[in-house]
Amino acid sequence: MKNIFLISILVLSGLTGAKAQDTLPGTAANLKTWCYFLASDDMKGRKNGSPEMKTAADYIAAVFQEAGLKPYSAETGYFQEYTTPRNNTELAERNVIGILEGSDSLLKYEWIILSAHFDHIGIRQPVNGDSIYNGADDNASGTATVMALAKTLGAMHVKPKRSILFAAFSGEEMGMRGSRWFVAHPSVPLDKVKLDLNFEMEGESATLGKNKYLLTGDIFTDFDDLLDSYNKNSTWQCADVYKTPPGVFQASDNAAFAVKHEAEKTTLNIPAFTLVTTDDMQVIHKVTDEAQNMDYENMAALVAYTAGLVNFLAADPLAIHWDQEAFDKFYLKQ
């Protein structure tokens, strides 16, 4: 019944005129295809510096192109290339970045970043005969979510008012090297970045239940007020913004947008959050984190919800209050 209703909305809106809150046809199937590809044994656990990471980057870039995103640069296309030290050598990696220009003549100069890391930890000690750490939930799921958001928002008849930068970061498992490189070499002015919404572990729905997520970092802002006003009309709910301890805030790429460099303790004051659909951290970095364990229907519903939320936020004043005192107390002075 629900599907028939959605399909009729899409038909009435002429498919190309999809609204942000609609599920684009085939989203769950796309998410499944992308996660099975990124987390396949052939990708050997997407270790930084490996040829498989280049294959993964090409794959993500192709979807960004299909979604109609503009490339990061005229010279390097969707890739932001960088090197980072590893074992006395320089390891070459790349972030994958695409842009959806805002539809408002003024707000298009401001940015919302939707990010996820696509690297994982490669091949390690075998457990029960399996040595490939596929990294399906961590973080093929977040990467696929960002890819699906690119397709969904890219298909909207009227694009979001602010510009959206879609970023698939490498180097996260080495200590957020990709996102820290982006922040140190930004392609957009950082003082115009209003928000980073980062995606990690979106494939598991058993722990919190369907249509629920946790948000890290809200303890430093009043973003929950804005979320509450949007979620009043949504089937999706933020299960708890405070349940996640502040320490988890620094466990993903969102942290790079809040603090310029861990050692420097320089605050950038960009409200940056990681959205997760689980609080079961037992699956992280296990050989059993595989594509067949994920709930693609729930992920597709999350994409539809998040697309609507981002479209809403892209038109909002987004005067998110940053509580420096709370940040100092829980993060900088840990």
Extended strands (E) in 158-270: 163-169, 193-199, 212-216, 237-240
Within 250-269, the residues that bind Zn ion by CB under 5 A are none
Pick the closer one to Zn ion by CB: 28 or 201. 201
Q: Which residues pair with 259 in a beta bridge?
A: 267
Q: Looking at 40-48, 186-194, 197-205, 210-218, which segment touches Zn ion (CB under 5 A)?
A: 197-205
Distance CA 65, CA 10 (A): 22
Pick the closer one to Zn ion by CB: 171 or 246. 171
Pick the closer one to Zn ion by CB: 102 or 142. 142
What is the size of the binding site for Zn ion (CB under 5 A)?
Answer: 3
143 binds Zn ion (CB under 5 A): no
CB of residue 311 to Zn ion, shortest distance in Å: 26
CB of residue 133 to Zn ion, shortest distance in Å: 12
Residue in this structure with the two tokens 């079961």, named with its chain if needed: 280
139 binds Zn ion (CB under 5 A): yes
Distance CA 251, CA 127 (A): 25
Contact call for residues 317 and 162 (beta carbons, < 8 A): no
Q: Looking at 82-90, 102-110, 132-140, 265-273, which segment touches Zn ion (CB under 5 A)?
A: 132-140
Q: Which amino acid is at 203?
A: G
CB of residue 274 to Zn ion, shortest distance in Å: 9
**Would you say how long the chain is, in residues?**
334
Pick the closer one to Zn ion by CB: 110 or 200. 200
Q: Looking at 35-43, 73-81, 194-202, 256-264, which segment touches Zn ion (CB under 5 A)?
A: 194-202
Selection from 114, 198, 202, 106 nearest residue 153 by Cα: 114
CB of residue 138 to Zn ion, shortest distance in Å: 4
Tokens of 160: 């979001």
- Tell me, rounded to whole angstroms, the distance of Cα 62 from its chain centroid: 17
Q: Which amino acid is at 132?
A: I
Pick the closer one to Zn ion by CB: 18 or 121. 121
CB of residue 286 to Zn ion, shortest distance in Å: 12
Residue in this structure with the two tokens 């050598």, named with its chain if needed: 89
Q: Looking at 6-14, 26-34, 105-113, 138-146, which segment touches Zn ion (CB under 5 A)?
A: 138-146
Q: Looking at 11-19, 94-102, 192-200, 308-316, which segment touches Zn ion (CB under 5 A)?
A: 192-200
Q: Which DSSP state fits 168?
A: E
CB of residue 130 to Zn ion, shortest distance in Å: 19
Tokens of 119: 């690297």
Within 302-331, the residues that bind Zn ion by CB under 5 A are none
Pick the closer one to Zn ion by CB: 110 or 173. 173
Q: For residue 78, with 0-12 CB atoms within 10 Å meaning exposed, 13-18 middle and 19 or more buried, which class applies?
A: buried
End-to-end alpha-carbon separation of the chain, Å? 51
Contact call for residues 153 and 207 (beta carbons, < 8 A): no
Q: Which amino acid is at 21?
A: Q
Contact call for residues 216 and 273 (beta carbons, < 8 A): yes
Distance CA 34, CA 148 (A): 10
138 binds Zn ion (CB under 5 A): yes
Q: Looking at 21-29, 101-109, 134-142, 215-223, which segment touches Zn ion (CB under 5 A)?
A: 134-142
CB of residue 224 to Zn ion, shortest distance in Å: 23
CB of residue 197 to Zn ion, shortest distance in Å: 15
| Footprint of Zn ion (CB under 5 A) | 138-139, 200
